[in-house]
């Protein structure tokens, strides 16, 4: 059915066949990729409704990734902020973040399509590690593109990618961040359409936003069940960090019909609301076509992309998920600018209070909780702790 929505997605104007979230989404790619992506959509639709695929996906999530991830009551953080807070512990997944959920799902599709080479982009390195891990698991050749700036600030993950047997390709274009890695990976994909491009966030051309959202929806499915078992009701608030948007939609999607649950996301604000010094796409961007999809992007009136800046490599991106663009326009979710300094404060706070070192990306969500949940003892919230901070401890964040 043309307008059949993906599981638990509530937008009545979601066109599954064309990947449209309202006016956003779609497929804006060179003709050489159109057939490839349409075939990928067909393979995805066939397999996500196939019981053997679902069983294999569930097997690897349980026995390889380590799901379900815990829902942890952060008692000392709650006391400090003055509001009851649970953490969805995606940082405890194998490889240390939510990214492995999506890479396992897509690598299973790639295997069914007969792919032998996997290509991916990475910013913070977590998707690169997760892709290299999945490729090693299934014996596939893997090439990971990464910006030169991110290679410097995420050295531990660079080493992990190489140790797992993947080839790391460094791009020096632009500021050497996630946008430039995506450009390089897409360029390679256009030149080598026989490879499988394993996109890591809920961005890019159709069907990637639909697929990534689907594979990450396990986060919210688990969180809702766990929360109701603990509290006997739904949470008042959901919080997550957002760059492209995969960890955020992973938590949010299963609650979109529950309008009593408020949804908040923290963007990488960099130095503040200054174009060229921030990555707060939904706060400061405008709609337009960028890297294969129609969504918000940080562009000028001529469509030129502004440079971005964020202390978090995984949030340092001038585009965003088309589904989040629609959630912003319909006011189903609120998107907040969190500066580098605020994120560092959240990084230190969770480490000191709970003995949990968060990724600097996830620290933006902690900082947001400090701002909007202060002295609200009657409210109970879930923060998606999307990744652990091993990769950030050697950086000068203290």
Q: Are 324 and 202 in contact (CB under 8 A)?
A: yes
Q: Are 298 and 281 in contact (CB under 8 A)?
A: yes
Q: Using only the alpha carbons of the chain, give its radius of gyration.
A: 19
| Structure tokens belonging to residue 91 | 């940082």
Output the DSSP codes for 250-278. Answer: HHHGGGTT-TTSEEEEEEE-TTSS-TTS-
| Structure tokens belonging to residue 199 | 């996109």
Closest alpha carbon to 159 in 386, 390, 363, 398 = 390
CA 252 from centroid of its chain's CA atoms? 12
Closest alpha carbon to 138 in 115, 161, 172 = 115
Helices (H), the chain: 31-48, 51-60, 75-81, 99-112, 126-137, 148-153, 155-163, 178-191, 208-216, 218-231, 246-252, 281-284, 322-329, 340-354, 360-372
| Enzyme catalytic residues | 99, 121, 386
């Amino acid at each position: 059915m043309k307008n059949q929505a993906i599981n638990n997605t509530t937008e009545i104007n979601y066109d599954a066949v064309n990947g449209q979230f309202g006016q956003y989404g779609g497929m804006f790619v060179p003709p050489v990729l159109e057939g490839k992506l349409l075939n990928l959509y067909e393979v995805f639709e066939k397999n996500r409704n196939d019981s053997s695929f679902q069983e294999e996906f569930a097997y690897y999530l349980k026995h390889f990734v380590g799901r379900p991830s815990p829902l942890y009551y952060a008692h000392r953080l709650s006391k400090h902020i003055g509001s009851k807070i649970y953490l969805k512990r995606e940082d405890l997944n194998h490889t240390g973040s939510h990214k492995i959920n999506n890479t396992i799902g897509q690598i299973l599709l790639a295997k069914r399509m007969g792919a032998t080479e996997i290509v991916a982009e990475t910013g913070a390195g977590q998707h690169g590690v997760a892709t290299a891990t999945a490729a090693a698991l299934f014996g596939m050749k893997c090439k990971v593109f990464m910006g030169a700036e991110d290679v410097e600030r995420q050295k531990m993950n660079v080493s992990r990618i190489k140790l797992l047997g993947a080839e790391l390709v460094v791009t020096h274009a632009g500021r050497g961040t996630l946008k430039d890695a995506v450009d390089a990976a897409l360029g390679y994909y256009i030149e080598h359409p026989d490879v499988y491009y394993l996109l890591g966030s809920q961005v890019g051309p159709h069907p990637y936003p639909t697929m990534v959202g689907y594979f990450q929806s396990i986060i919210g499915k688990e969180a809702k069940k766990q929360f109701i078992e603990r509290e006997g009701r739904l949470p008042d608030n959901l919080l997550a960090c957002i760059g492209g948007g995969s960890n955020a939609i992973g938590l949010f999607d299963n609650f979109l019909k529950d309008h009593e649950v408020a949804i908040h996301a923290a963007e990488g604000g960099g130095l503040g609301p200054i174009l060229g010094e921030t990555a707060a796409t939904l706060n400061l961007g405008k709609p337009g076509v960028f890297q294969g999809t129609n969504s918000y992007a940080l562009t000028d009136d001529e469509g030129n992309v502004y440079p971005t800046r964020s202390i978090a490599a995984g949030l340092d991106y001038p585009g965003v998920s088309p589904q989040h663009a629609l959630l912003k326009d319909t006011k189903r979710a609120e998107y907040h600018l969190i500066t580098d300094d605020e994120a560092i404060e959240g990084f230190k706070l969770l480490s000191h209070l709970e003995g949990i070192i968060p990724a600097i990306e996830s620290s933006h969500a902690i900082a947001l909780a400090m701002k909007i949940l202060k002295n609200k003892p009657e409210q109970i919230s879930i923060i998606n702790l999307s990744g652990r901070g091993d990769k950030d401890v050697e950086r000068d964040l203290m």
